[in-house]
Structure 1
Amino acid sequence: MSKAQNKQLHSYLPTSISAKLLKFCYFLMAVLLYSCGDAKTEQATEDASTPKKTEDILATNATTKTILCFGDSITAGYGLDDNNNAYPGLVQKKLDSLGLKFTVINSGVSGETTAGGKSRIDWVIKQTPSIFLLELGANDGLRGVALSETRANLQAIIDVVRKKSPNTTIILAGMQLPPNMGLAYTTEFKQLFIDLAEKNTLEFIPFILKDVGGIAALNQKDGIHPNIEGHKILANTVWDVLQPLLKS
């Protein structure tokens, strides 16, 4: 990791929570209880359909490199009429407009936890992507999962990717929690993503919902899941880290 990247990581160490983040936080817990209530149904649907969808994509794009987005409802595009409007689909549009031969695979499952991600990573990584974007952890935090467990699950996912697809570049997306989970817990939760990025020398997005979280106009009625305009900003946030990797 470069000195510039290291400096960027530490610039995101815990600081006072902004008014926008506070507003975002108040909505977060209640909404996740709602979305998690539907998670089992949505996850079952996604798990049943994802393998076929992924194989079809790769079968028709055998000559392209792949970018695999592995995450929860944020990646899946929860609440959108068309998940092509979620940030992975928008990144695909950017790539296509530039004539870059990459296929973006959306492997997001609403309600997914790090434990759920750990259980399905062995199958998913068989796609041997060029770039693997890991966006998990928010549902762990909102359920009060022990941080040691979340950290261990994320590390296990990273280890499987490194072992089974050693040439894959990993991008880790960071997340933050509302203050009602307790200062010590929320601070350590935020820090664990920074620590994992540093320990494993990963590319890093400090906060996947940067400039979106807590802004009503950029979120759906639930106040937490980004709308189309919000996903456009997410796509730009991802693109800032992704674009330099495409040249290599």
Structure 2
Amino acid sequence: MKTVLCFGDSNTWGYSPDLPRRYNENERWPMLLQQHLSPNYRIIEEGQNSRTTTLEDPYAPGKKGLDYLLPCLESHHPDLVIILLGTNDLKSRFNVTASDISKGVARLVEVVQKFEHAFMKSPPQVLLVSPAWVFELPTSMEGFTGAEEKSKQLAHYYQLRSQELGCHFLDAATFIQPCNIEGIHWQADQHAKLALKLATLIPTIMR
């Protein structure tokens, strides 16, 4: 059995942009991915609303991904970790550049790559996913002023970090778009797109 940990934010958790609910197990991408892969794979959902990479949110404690990643690895001993974070780092209150955000997510990659346990032959592999763009719209969620332009720069820097660290890379913005009314979260058809893409990619990583 090969275990895949999906470590992300609200777009991994399944936050619906147009209805006050969480997508169900037949809608959100990690569970769709489970359905597309063979029974030899076990998908672990680890999405959290407002999760950042390494930034401490003064208004929402407990959201820093770096603090939770190591305990999560120790709980699940995954063979592959998919890291899909960075959107919340775009919030204007953090005032960081796209390059800074990529360095934050690189810290998470390093935690995974350095994780060792006597029961594991080697550390997990990492697939670093650069998030979809954010759209600044009149109805966009509060707190993302200036986020759209930064979001368009993330893939460049994420790819640089993946090359430096020797991990796998995927640019979600090439095929995923947020809701064109809300601007941050993905509609169900976008979850389906990501699941299909990953279902094709993962077997090539975990041979």
Aligned CA distance change for structure 1 residues 167 and 197 (closer, same or farther; 3 Å): same
Aligned CA distance change for structure 1 residues 109 and 225 (closer, same or farther; 3 Å): same
1 or 2, which has the higher helix percentage?
Answer: 1
Partners of 1:187 and 1:82 in 2: CA distance: 29
CA apart distance, 1:81: 3.9
- Per the alignment, residue 198 of structure 1 pairs with 163
The superposition leaves residues 207-243 of structure 1 with CA deviations (integer Å, 9 ceiling, x where unpaired) of 2x44331565xxxx63542232221111122223213
Count of aligned residue pairs for this structure pair: 176
- Per the alignment, residue 129 of structure 2 pairs with 173
Residue type of the alignment partner of 1:106? E
Match of 2:48 among 105, 109, 115: 109
- Per the alignment, residue 68 of structure 2 pairs with 120
Partners of 2:154 and 2:134 in 1: CA distance: 7
Report 1:145-224 matches (<5 A). 145-147=95-97, 149-165=100-116, 166-175=122-131, 176-178=133-135, 181=146, 185-186=150-151, 188-207=153-172, 209-213=173-177, 216=180, 222-224=182-184
**Which structure 1 segments of 5+ residues have no match?**
1-63
The superposition leaves residues 72-130 of structure 1 with CA deviations (integer Å, 9 ceiling, x where unpaired) of 011111123414521100010012xx3x3111000010111112111111101112201
CA RMSD of aligned residues (A): 2.6
2:13–2:49 CA contact under 8 A, matched in 1: yes
Aligned CA distance change for structure 1 residues 102 and 222 (closer, same or farther; 3 Å): same
Alignment partner of 1:225 is 2:176: no
Partners of 1:156 and 1:136 in 2: CA distance: 12
Percent of residue pairs bearing the same amino acid type: 22
1:172–1:204 CA contact under 8 A, matched in 2: yes
Residue type of the alignment partner of 1:140? D
TM-score normalised by structure 2 residue count: 0.73
Query: Which secondary structure does the structure 2 equivalent of 1:85 belong to?
Result: coil
1:74–1:225 CA contact under 8 A, matched in 2: yes
Query: Which secondary structure does the structure 1 equivalent of 2:114 belong to?
Result: helix
Aligned CA distance change for structure 1 residues 106 and 184 (closer, same or farther; 3 Å): closer
Aligned CA distance change for structure 1 residues 131 and 204 (closer, same or farther; 3 Å): same
TM-score normalised by structure 1 residue count: 0.62
Match of 2:91 among 111, 135, 142: 142
**Which structure 2 segments of 5+ residues have no match?**
17-21, 55-63, 117-121, 137-144
Residue type of the alignment partner of 1:238? L
Choose 1 or 2 for highest CA Rg. 1
Residue type of the alignment partner of 1:125? L
The superposition leaves residues 42-84 of structure 1 with CA deviations (integer Å, 9 ceiling, x where unpaired) of xxxxxxxxxxxxxxxxxxxxxx321000000111111234145
Query: Which secondary structure does the structure 2 equivalent of 1:198 belong to?
Result: helix
Residue type of the alignment partner of 2:48? V
